[in-house]
């Protein structure tokens, strides 16, 4: 294996447990990045020659190397992949009694760039790095040994793959279903596996959806950025009086409405389940102007801050959407406000809620602070892997 040499002092963060190496941390004279092939395994050493570990490299990416082992000259081969995936599988089978979960969560499972969501016999995979892409067939072989899946959907439509110089064309191995059913929190959902968002379902919100539903009985619910209705349909099943779903995707609101009717058939007749398709900012203003108010609001927007340079613009969007949502919350009502932007600190999201309440001349009492579920483990030395925030608060007046 070739050696990737670090500049003096650039080993501290890595020795503290971090896995990412940036291009400006590499000694370009001793180990010019142009000498490496994307996906190549290397031994990483500090300026004095001390071993940091083994990593795979992509000279074309800002994060030019990602550690996967703390020992030198260690290939990310079939044996190591199988060992890591077996450990990940053992954890998930302890957490869940049915095989519907995130099986591998990248750095949190010490497999940087590898995401696997399991839907019983069907797996959706995202390979976000050249290192993982070059090992795609090894990954498929390991999964065949461990799980014998009926199908693999290689979901390659990721911005990170463009940054890594990889194709964004999806690949299907086996009969990938367009839609499938999955259980969650005592409900059954139809999810769009083949043509849905991300990997088809957002398992990371499972615990937060359950927590928000504790306040659902007898409420009028508004599920903003609803996707397939995870928050709203769970609330409907827990006794909500009505549910309104809002999303820009026609497919999403169709599925959300159907999932609510399926899990709360008492609401299927009449106008107890409503769907609104369009821009969330515009629709929230229209709801306010029409006098609509809701006693449980679930707000789960997309990542408004995808890159650090977008922080100011994205923060303004979070402030705006939370203010618009809070205008619709009736006195004594509950709001669940989320962010999946790892560039938005939890305190900033809480501040957005506090500012919105102050402008409404009211106050919020925080009831719950949550994050991603345990099948999305956080790497203790990498705050970047703790991306999901969820605050549940009650309007105090």
For 139-180, write each residue's pLDDT tens digit: 999 999 999 999 999 999 988 898 888 999 999 999 999 999
Residue 189 pLDDT exceeds 90: yes
* Catalytic residue flag (residue 340): yes
pLDDT of 397 > 90? The answer is no
Task: Tell me: pLDDT of 132 over 90.
Answer: yes
- pLDDT above 90: residue 93: yes
Which is catalytic among the residues 338, 340, 352, 390?
A: 340
Q: What is the pLDDT of residue 310?
A: 84
Q: Report the distance separating Cα 384 and Cα 369, nearest Å.
A: 18
The CATH number of domain 78-173, selected from 3.30.1130.10, 3.90.1150.10, 3.20.19.10, 3.30.750.80: 3.30.750.80
Coil/strand/helix, residue 182? strand
Mean pLDDT in residue range 202-218 = 98
C-alpha distances in angstroms, 256 versus 64, 176, 187, 261, 263? 40, 22, 13, 9, 11
Tell me how far apart the 2 most distant CA atoms of the chain are, in Å.
73
Residues 232-283: tens digit of each pLDDT? 999 999 999 999 999 999 999 999 999 999 999 999 988 999 999 999 999 9
According to DSSP H, which parts of 49-186 are helical?
78-95, 130-133, 136-147, 159-163
pLDDT at 307 (0 to 100): 81
* Class of the CATH-defined domain 2-69: mainly beta
Mean pLDDT of 119-125: 97
Per-domain residue ranges of the chain: 2-69, 78-173, 179-395
Whether the domain at 78-173 and the domain at 179-395 fall into the same CATH topology? no
Q: How far apart are CA 391 and CA 297, in angstroms?
A: 12
pLDDT at 375 over 90: yes
Average pLDDT, rounded, for the chain: 96
* pLDDT-above-90 percentage for the chain: 92
CATH of 179-395, one of 3.40.190.10, 3.40.50.150, 3.40.50.920, 2.60.40.10: 3.40.50.150
For 31-90, what is each residue's pLDDT tens digit? 999 999 999 999 999 999 999 999 999 999 999 999 999 999 999 999 999 999 999 999
Mean pLDDT, residues 341-345 taken together: 91
**pLDDT for res 196:** 87
pLDDT given for residue 195 in this prediction: 87
Mean predicted confidence (pLDDT) in 7-17: 97
The pTM of this model reads 0.95
Residue 91: band (very low, low, confident or very high) from pLDDT cuts 50, 70, 90: very high
Distances (CA, A) of 332 to 203, 221, 238, 323: 29, 13, 18, 17
Helix (H, G, I), strand (E, B) or coil at 22: strand
Classify residue 95 as exposed, middle or buried by CB count within 10 Å of its CB (0-12, 13-18, 19+). exposed
């Amino acid at each position: 294996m070739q050696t990737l040499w670090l500049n003096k002092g650039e080993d501290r963060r890595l020795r503290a447990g971090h896995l990412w190496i940036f291009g400006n941390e590499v000694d370009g004279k001793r180990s010019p990045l142009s000498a490496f092939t994307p996906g190549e395994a290397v031994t990483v050493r500090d300026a004095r020659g001390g071993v940091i570990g083994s990593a795979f490299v992509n000279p074309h990416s800002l994060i030019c190397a990602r550690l996967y082992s703390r020992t030198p000259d260690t290939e990310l081969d079939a044996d190591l992949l199988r060992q890591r995936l077996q450990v990940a599988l053992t954890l998930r089978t302890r957490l869940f009694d049915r095989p519907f979960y995130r099986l591998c969560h990248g750095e949190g499972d010490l497999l940087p760039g590898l995401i696997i969501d399991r839907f019983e016999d069907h797996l959706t995979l995202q390979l976000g790095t050249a290192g993982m892409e070059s090992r795609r067939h090894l990954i498929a072989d390991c999964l065949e040994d461990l799980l014998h899946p009926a199908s693999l959907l290689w979901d390659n439509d990721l911005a990170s793959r463009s940054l890594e110089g990889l194709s964004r064309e999806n690949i299907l191995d086996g009969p990938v279903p367009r839609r499938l059913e999955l259980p969650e929190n005592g409900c059954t959902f139809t999810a769009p596996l083949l043509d849905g968002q991300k990997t088809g379902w957002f398992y990371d919100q499972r615990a937060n959806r359950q927590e928000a539903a504790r306040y659902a009985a007898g409420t009028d619910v508004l599920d903003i950025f609803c996707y397939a209705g995870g928050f709203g349909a769970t609330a409907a099943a827990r006794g909500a009086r009505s549910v309104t779903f809002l999303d820009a995707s026609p497919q999403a609101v169709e599925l959300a409405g159907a999932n609510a009717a399926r899990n709360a058939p008492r609401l299927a007749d009449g106008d107890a389940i409503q769907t609104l398709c369009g821009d969330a900012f515009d629709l929230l203003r229209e709801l306010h102007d029409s006098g609509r108010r809701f006693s449980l609001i679930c707000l789960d927007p997309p990542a408004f801050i995808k890159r650090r340079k977008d922080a100011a613009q994205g923060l303004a969007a979070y402030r705006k959407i939370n203010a618009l949502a809070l205008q619709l919350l009736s006195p004594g009502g509950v709001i669940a406000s989320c962010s999946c932007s790892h560039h938005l600190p939890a305190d900033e999201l809480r501040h957005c809620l506090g500012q919105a309440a102050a402008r409404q001349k009211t106050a919020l009492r925080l009831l719950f602070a949550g994050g991603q579920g345990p099948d999305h483990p956080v790497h203790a030395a990498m705050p970047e892997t703790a991306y999901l925030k969820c605050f549940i608060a009650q309007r105090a007046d």
